[in-house]
Amino acid sequence: MHTQIYVLRFPKDTSDRPFVYRLVKDYDLEFNILKADILLQREGMMILEIKGAKESVKAGLDYLRGYGVSAQRLASRIRRDESKCFQCGACTGVCPSGALSISRPQMTVLFDAERCTGCNLCVPICPVRAMEISLDRDMALAEDLA
């Protein structure tokens, strides 16, 4: 499952189109609206977290772009909520960059934010949702883009 955050900008003549519905129905994507500013007959902006198979996300974005919608991916920053993490190690098996690793012999799970690429693979794996997507910087960037 691929999870990424996008800033979508809608031309004013598309504000009444059911884009999000089509993304779910035709492209089997899940979404989470993080911010939306859409008014009829005006340019709109939406920050959307999109989840789905990589090919489906690409196809869905191509569909949007076909209507003149611009889609810009936001790099996300990952943080670990230390109060939730109980050191189970499940996340280390999916981390492709080595940002999450097990320190032996103590068997503690280390998180090196400098090595994190923001791929988000660890977020759904963690049983207690200790790995979180930090939106502070993304929201600030989105405000700049607005």
Q: Would you tell me which residues interact with ligand SF4 (CB under 6 A)?
A: 78, 80, 85-91, 94-95, 97, 99-100, 109, 116-122, 125-126, 128, 130-131
Select 25 or 84, whichever has its Cβ closest to ligand SF4. Answer: 84
Rounded Cα gap, residues 132 and 24, in angstroms: 24
Contacts of 113 (CB under 8 A, 6+ apart): 78, 79, 99
Q: Which two tokens stand for residue 72?
A: 């810009």
CB of 33 to ligand SF4, least distance (A): 22
Q: Is the dihedral of CA 98, 58, 33, 145 positive or negative?
A: positive
Select 48 or 130, whichever has its Cβ closest to ligand SF4. Answer: 130
Select 56 or 97, whichever has its Cβ closest to ligand SF4. Answer: 97
Rounded Cα gap, residues 16 and 5, in angstroms: 22
Q: Which residue has the tokens 């340019």?
A: 43
CB of 17 to ligand SF4, least distance (A): 33
CB of 120 to ligand SF4, least distance (A): 5
Select 109 or 135, whichever has its Cβ closest to ligand SF4. Answer: 109
